[in-house]
Chains A and B, each alone.
Chain A
Amino acid sequence: MVRRTNAEWLAALQQSGKAQTEAYQDLREYLRRVVLVYLRDRRPELSRLPLGDLYEMAEDFAQNALLAVLNNLSEFRGDARFTTWAYRFVINEAAAELRRRQYRNMSLDQLLEEGTAVIQSLAASPPSSDPGQAAARQEFIQQLLEIIDEALSERQKTAVLAVHFQSMSMQEVAEILETTPNTVYKMLHDARKKIKARLIALHLGPGDILALFDDVW
């Protein structure tokens, strides 16, 4: 396989004939190798899969990514190597599929209940030896729960609890809320702004909160 400059990649991929076919094949092979290395080295949950399965996954991801690259060729800004830009598609492809396999399929009620429980348990972990600190911590946790309840919409509350307190992927939350991951990110951002405003209004800075959880009171 020949190494190409960005200009050579774009030219080869966009004309027809032998040069284009070779460019397609080379690109798909690059994508396949890259995603194989990603699956092997960065996804330990797949370590028990037979190598053949991994190869098959890599081929599927590479094929899908190749189509995505070709469909989005006009988006390439030339601010990075063409290959780096192309690899983004196959990494996204693989990451999205692996996220789907980790869906927890919880109901909304379950999500809210368990997320709230996680926040409440923060008051006691790690337990404070100082009763004054323990009480202050409990009070803060109650305030935080009130802020989340009052300042955020139901959807924002769901997103915050799911993503940050239950380590759910934005992708899964987006499906639960019937929207896109990008929108979920924006919802989380808006939620953060509201929570920040409320905490500041209560004259609580990051140092104040840190002090509640420090060993030294």
Chain B
Amino acid sequence: MNQKEFQSWVDGIYATEDDVLDCRGFQAVLPAYTEAKLTSQPFDPFVTIKVEAHLHNCPDCNEVYNGLKYVVQKELSEELVTALQTAVSTEAPMPDMTAAPPR
């Protein structure tokens, strides 16, 4: 563990409040929170604080959040491209996310 990681753990200690958002609670708000983050939409500020505290203290949920955010962002950005190209057809095909990312 390096100094930065230790400091981060210390910060987590002092930021601890009585009220806690556990993993189950976090998973329940995860989809909405992820989309709000990606689309810069407003999100309940009190829930946001608890979500960020949970992410700070939970490596497992952090991995899931980062993974979900990554794939949803890909989907949103490719839909944007598709929409521009096909002028929003309701039968536009599922974008091919398996194309390798640009290097």
| Residues of A near any B CB (own CB < 8 A) | 1-3, 26, 29-30, 33-34, 36-38, 40-42, 77, 79-81, 83-85, 87-88, 91-92, 94-95, 99, 118, 122, 125-126, 163-165, 167, 169-171, 181-182, 185-186, 188-189, 192-193, 195-196, 199, 205-206, 209-210, 213
CB-CB under 8 A from A182, the residues of chain B are: 22-24
| Residues of B near any A CB (own CB < 8 A) | 1-3, 6-7, 9-14, 16, 18, 20, 22-24, 27-28, 30-32, 34-35, 54, 57-60, 63-64, 66-68, 70-72, 74-75, 90-94, 96-98, 100-101
Minimum CB distance partner of B100 in chain A: A40
Contact check, A122 vs B1: say whether CB atoms are below 8 A apart: yes
Min C-beta distance of A66 to chain B, whole Å:
16
Which of A92, A169, A185 has the largest count of B CB atoms less than 10 A from its CB?
A: A185
Min C-beta distance of A192 to chain B, whole Å:
4
Contact check, A3 vs B91: say whether CB atoms are below 8 A apart: yes
* Bound CA–CA A193/B90 (angstroms): 52
CB-contact partner of A193 in B18, B28, B54, under 8 A: B18
Instruction: Evaluate whether A33 and B98 lie within 8 angstroms (CB atoms) in the complex, with A95-B67, A182-B23 already known.
Output: yes
Contact check, A84 vs B34: say whether CB atoms are below 8 A apart: yes
